[in-house]
A = this chain, B = another copy of it.
Amino acid sequence: MSEKTFAGNYFEDFRVGQVIRHATPRTITEGDVALYTALYGPRFAINSSDSFARALGLPRAPVDDVLAFHIVFGKTVPDISLNAVANLGYANGRFGVPVYPGDTISTTSTVTGLKENSNGRTGVVYVNSVGVNQRGEVVLDYTRWVMVTKGDPAAPTPEPVVPQLPDVVPADSLVVPELAIEQYDRVLAGSPFGWNDYAVGERIDHVDGMTIEEAEHQLATRLYQNTAKVHFDQFAANSNRFGRRLIYGGHIISLARCLSFNGLGNAFTLLAINAGSHANPTFAGDTIYAHSEVLDSFELPGAPGLGALRLRTVATKDHPASDFPYKVDGRYHPDVVLDLDYTVALPR
């Protein structure tokens, strides 16, 4: 390989405390929003209509929180996960200021943990990534950990460091949107149910299914400038263990979030990602379904018209969610592909 080509970092290239300013700042536009709509079919009115957003006191429709997540995440891939074997988890994800078309997002990551695996060939890298807009305001701050190959198996084993991460983003660290929530129109929003209508333990089958095509996940993943080779190169995939291109896990997050509209139509914004796991891989041709459980319900300080729900949304493949598949004997059901624990806001 030419010395000019970047093959990505290996496990031994990371140091705890290392700060990585990621490349390719990205101006988000109305074009990205339209593609996001075409890729997933979101129907949250606040992201769909400038008029609806303005009635709530916003300057225009903000972009979908999960689109902002993908853009922030995508920046990190060339430096963090080009040689990743697996994306193991997410924690402590807090959404900040809304993102509007015209905003330019850039991401900086700090390595917060390293732990070599006992096989000596891979290790886990923990990174805290912070996405900011052109004014330096935080739009998303989250930690993920990935299993990364060692480039040189003989490289020395670093002192293991595993960061302390909260199971749930604490309520008092959430950034709560300031909205004229009394102007929120539930008819236009498409759901009569507010925060008061949901009970802890309640489960919702989101009913609808969405089949994924190769062209769709490739378009999406390139849109986020996520360059992980496994999503794009079928010729190489012909000799991997699946024989298929793998779908970017975030594509499933977006599908599950959009499917969740049917049952959670007023959960108009994500405040936090508490935890997340891509339980099984997905491939083109899979049909994705989703179901959710209300894990917690709490008030939001200073926002008397809003309430928060902590949700677990589970996505499955080729398995309608009516029997709420999740875990069997403590392990994920083989049809489960996503287990996402996150916090949303709804009008009361």
Judge whether A236 is part of the interface by a CB distance below 8 angstroms: yes
Question: What residue in chain B is nearest A44 (Cβ atoms)?
Answer: B24
Judge whether A87 is part of the interface by a CB distance below 8 angstroms: no
Highest count of chain B CB atoms <10 Å: which of A39, A101, A215? A215
From 74 to 104 in chain A, residues with beta carbon under 8 angstroms from any chain B beta carbon are: 78, 101-102, 104
Judge whether A174 is part of the interface by a CB distance below 8 angstroms: no
Interface size on A, residues (CB 8 A): 84
Judge whether A51 is part of the interface by a CB distance below 8 angstroms: yes
Q: Contact: B218 with A233, CB < 8 Å?
A: no
Kindly list chain B residues whose C-beta atoms are within 8 Å of the C-beta of A236: 209, 287, 320
Bound Cα distance from A29 to B49, whole angstroms: 10
Are A24 and B41 CB-contacts (below 8 A) given A32-B34, A209-B235, A287-B234?
no
Kindly list chain B residues whose C-beta atoms are within 8 Å of the C-beta of A52: 25, 104
Judge whether A310 is part of the interface by a CB distance below 8 angstroms: no
Judge whether A180 is part of the interface by a CB distance below 8 angstroms: no
Q: Contact: A322 with B1, CB < 8 Å?
A: yes
A residues near B, CB below 8 A? 1-2, 4-7, 21, 23-27, 29-35, 37-41, 43, 45, 48-52, 61, 78, 101-102, 104, 106, 134, 187-191, 193, 197-198, 202-211, 213-216, 218-223, 225, 227, 229, 232-236, 245, 262-265, 285, 287, 318, 320, 322
Please give me the 8 A-B residue pairs with the lowest Cβ-Cβ distance, nearest first: A31-B34, A23-B190, A41-B222, A235-B287, A209-B233, A215-B215, A25-B49, A29-B30
Chosen A-B contacts, 6 in total, with CB atoms closer than 8 Å, are A4-B193, A5-B263, A213-B218, A215-B215, A215-B216, A233-B287
Contacts A4-B191, A26-B48, A51-B104 known; list 13 others, CB within 8 Å. Answer: A5-B204, A6-B262, A21-B187, A23-B190, A23-B265, A32-B34, A37-B223, A38-B220, A39-B222, A49-B106, A208-B227, A210-B232, A211-B245
